Structure 1
Amino acid sequence: MATSKNGLYGHPNGKIGNIVFYVLNGQNVSRTIGDPGKPSRNQLGNQQSMAVTMAFLKRMKEFITVGFELEAAGTVKNAFNLATSYNKKGALQGEYPNISVNYSKVVLSKGDLPVAKDIQLSKADTGVLISWDPSRLDFDYGPDDSVMIMLYHPLRKKETSFLNAARREEGSRFIEIDKEWLEEPIEAYLCFKSANGKRISDSVYVGNLNGEIESPEEKSKKRKYLEVKVRFDQIEADYLRLMHLDRGAHMGTKAFRHLEKEYEVLKKKLDDLPGKPG
């Protein structure tokens, strides 16, 4: 049962039918409850998009809290909510069930502080070097702006972050990395924050080292998909051959019905199976 503190036209609080009304961050909200039935393909895609985004960003909460703190100020959203919204909309690629992160479009901070020019990423024997042009071309930023750096390791699904990696005027930061990790894919991001903490820049995708190497999980998905695809191709060939044999005379047989059922099951399975090439 729901109650309304502000009379008949006030926002209720509680349950009415299959809708629950409540207050979240000072705002009146509502949501449905109960069994919504079988989700559509679009709904499944939206669910996977959210799951992929959350799984990626949850490892970067500390960096994101700083990166979106100013953007979230004065709104009912928190920094992580904003980061999730930006990246779910703009940093994903593929279609369900093969939705993944497009690392080059990830956003880890939002603001109007200018970034630097000529940002570079290079690998040395014991780590990585991130450099930028420290030249001060105007008075819209200071040489003592702090530099924030995020390194993401896709195979391990781990991050290495530095909230005060260097000052803008230093022009570079060398980061030592374990040799085994150094040979694996690395995605790098950078942003600048003013010394007084009142301004921050948009994050910049610095680049990738060592290319894209598939994880054991991704290899397993592709292998499973290929196995099912090979079987489906065999069944499809037999199914289509019998469909046209003797003008469909075989279509009423038990063998054909069994074949048709397997064809439909495998076709549906391929549609929903992750690991599709490309």
Structure 2
Amino acid sequence: MAKCTISPYGHPSGKIGNIVYYMLKGQPVCRLVGTPGKPSVKQMANRQAMSVVMQFIKPMTDFINISFKREAEGSIRNPHNLAISYNKKQALTGEYPNIKVDYTKVILSNGSLEMAKNLQLIKGKEGLNLSWDSSIGDNAAPDDSLMVLVSHPTRKKASTYLNAARRTDGSCFLPLDKEWMLQEQMEVYVCFKSANEKLISNSAYVGNLNGEPESKSEIAEKENYKAVKARFDQVAADYAKKSTGYTDGVLGSKAFRQLKKEYEVLKVKLAHLPGKPS
């Protein structure tokens, strides 16, 4: 996408040839429209990265509309654009086709307001208990509001608490009204906003609850390991039996040499194969 400040057509609006002209937040811009060819691996990786981060950010609209509001003002970007941009660059891990979110590196706000120290998270029977150091630093105020976001990645949902507590409270309770919420993966983030919402802190990752489910690739690795291990056990038993129970002539046969080779290959393969039970 490019700004359309000079054009042989003046300041057009709409499609001319394979170029579309339109206004974005008061600025004329244009983009190319065409029939894409076969995507490269790099393009596929970029598409997967965008898809992963968009699915993760989508349930957080209420939170990021406030947390990125001030940063988006005066620019052609909106809070959603900023959240996508930051997290696509900073919070993804892995290689295509196994790109996923690194929850510890997620960014949900940027600002100069002070973040509280000693954040602690405990799961209760009906929700979460969150606590922090309530002392007031140079760049903080007693009436700063705590914003909390609880991401439920396996459900592609999020629980949002925009005014969970005041900074000086030092603790708060976050109710979770669905049974599955307390049993499935949760990733918890917080930030502080000033009472007039003109200042915001950097977001902080509080932690994970209930662990993280295995990815498709991890499940596939475990299944493959099980299959190879089962074959190895069968070959190892046959090799052990034949290596001690037959004459030298049999041990020198082609069939036994093949059995021995398969045994040795499988043994080395298992030693380096991912998916081994911990």
Asked if the contact 1:70–1:111 (Cα under 8 Å) also holds between the matched residues in 2, the reply is no
What one-letter code is carried by the residue in structure 1 that aligns with 2:136?
Answer: R
Instruction: Identify if the C-alpha distance between structure 1 residues 143 and 17 changes in structure 2 by more than 3 Å, giving closer, same or farther.
Output: same
Is 1:119 aligned to 2:92, yes or no? no
Q: Secondary structure at the match of 1:57?
A: helix
What does 1:193-208 correspond to in 2, within 5 Å?
A: 193-208=193-208
Asked if the contact 2:64–2:109 (Cα under 8 Å) also holds between the matched residues in 1, the reply is yes
Is 1:147 aligned to 2:150, yes or no? no
CA–CA distance in 1 between the matches of 2:45 and 2:104? 21
Instruction: Identify if the C-alpha distance between structure 1 residues 137 and 25 changes in structure 2 by more than 3 Å, giving closer, same or farther.
Output: closer
What one-letter code is carried by the residue in structure 2 that aligns with 1:91?
Answer: A
CA–CA distance in 2 between the matches of 1:74 and 1:108? 19
What one-letter code is carried by the residue in structure 1 that aligns with 2:175?
Answer: E
Q: CA deviation at 1:120?
A: 1.1
CA–CA distance in 1 between the matches of 2:25 and 2:196? 28
Instruction: Identify if the C-alpha distance between structure 1 residues 18 and 9 changes in structure 2 by more than 3 Å, giving closer, same or farther.
Output: closer
Instruction: Identify if the C-alpha distance between structure 1 residues 22 and 122 changes in structure 2 by more than 3 Å, giving closer, same or farther.
Output: same
Which structure: larger Rg?
Answer: 2
Q: CA deviation at 1:154?
A: 2.1
Q: CA deviation at 1:123?
A: 1.8
Asked if the contact 2:5–2:28 (Cα under 8 Å) also holds between the matched residues in 1, the reply is no
CA–CA distance in 1 between the matches of 2:105 and 2:26? 32
What does 1:6-85 correspond to in 2, within 5 Å?
A: 8=8, 10-85=10-85
TM-score (norm: length of structure 1)? 0.73
Higher mean C-alpha displacement, 121-130 vs 104-113: 121-130
CA–CA distance in 1 between the matches of 2:209 and 2:61? 23
Q: Which residue of 1 aligns with 2:131?
A: 131
Q: Which residue of 1 aligns with 2:267?
A: none
Q: CA deviation at 1:225?
A: 10
What does 1:162-181 correspond to in 2, within 5 Å?
A: 162-177=161-176, 178-181=178-181
| Runs of 5+ consecutive residues of structure 2 not aligned to the other structure | 229-273
CA–CA distance in 2 between the matches of 1:77 and 1:54? 16
Higher mean C-alpha displacement, 80-89 vs 124-133: 124-133
Instruction: Identify if the C-alpha distance between structure 1 residues 37 and 219 changes in structure 2 by more than 3 Å, giving closer, same or farther.
Output: closer
What one-letter code is carried by the residue in structure 2 that aligns with 1:94?
Answer: G
Asked if the contact 1:5–1:12 (Cα under 8 Å) also holds between the matched residues in 2, the reply is no
Q: Which residue of 2 aligns with 1:209?
A: 209
What one-letter code is carried by the residue in structure 2 that aligns with 1:144?
Answer: D
CA–CA distance in 1 between the matches of 2:7 and 2:31? 21
CA–CA distance in 2 between the matches of 1:127 and 1:37? 50
TM-score (norm: length of structure 2)? 0.73
Indicate the RMSD between aligned Cα atoms, in angstroms: 2.8
Q: CA deviation at 1:6?
A: 7.4
What one-letter code is carried by the residue in structure 1 that aligns with 2:196?
Answer: N
CA–CA distance in 2 between the matches of 1:7 and 1:149? 47
Instruction: Identify if the C-alpha distance between structure 1 residues 142 and 35 changes in structure 2 by more than 3 Å, giving closer, same or farther.
Output: same
CA–CA distance in 2 between the matches of 1:128 and 1:81? 30
CA–CA distance in 2 between the matches of 1:209 and 1:18? 49
Q: Secondary structure at the match of 1:133?
A: coil
CA–CA distance in 1 between the matches of 2:6 and 2:94? 47
Higher mean C-alpha displacement, 13-22 vs 25-34: 13-22
Is 1:188 aligned to 2:188, yes or no? yes
What one-letter code is carried by the residue in structure 2 that aligns with 1:87?
Answer: N
CA–CA distance in 1 between the matches of 2:54 and 2:35? 24
CA–CA distance in 2 between the matches of 1:55 and 1:277? 27
CA–CA distance in 2 between the matches of 1:154 and 1:173? 23
CA–CA distance in 2 between the matches of 1:96 and 1:48? 7
What one-letter code is carried by the residue in structure 2 that aligns with 1:198?
Answer: K
Higher mean C-alpha displacement, 15-24 vs 63-72: 15-24
Post-superposition Cα deviations, 1:196-242, rounded to whole Å, max 9, x if no partner, equal 1111111110111122123xxx4598449967xx89xxxxxxxxxxx
Is 1:159 aligned to 2:175, yes or no? no
Q: Which residue of 2 aligns with 1:106?
A: 106
Instruction: Identify if the C-alpha distance between structure 1 residues 9 and 181 changes in structure 2 by more than 3 Å, giving closer, same or farther.
Output: closer
CA–CA distance in 2 between the matches of 1:51 and 1:18? 26
What one-letter code is carried by the residue in structure 2 that aligns with 1:166?
Answer: A
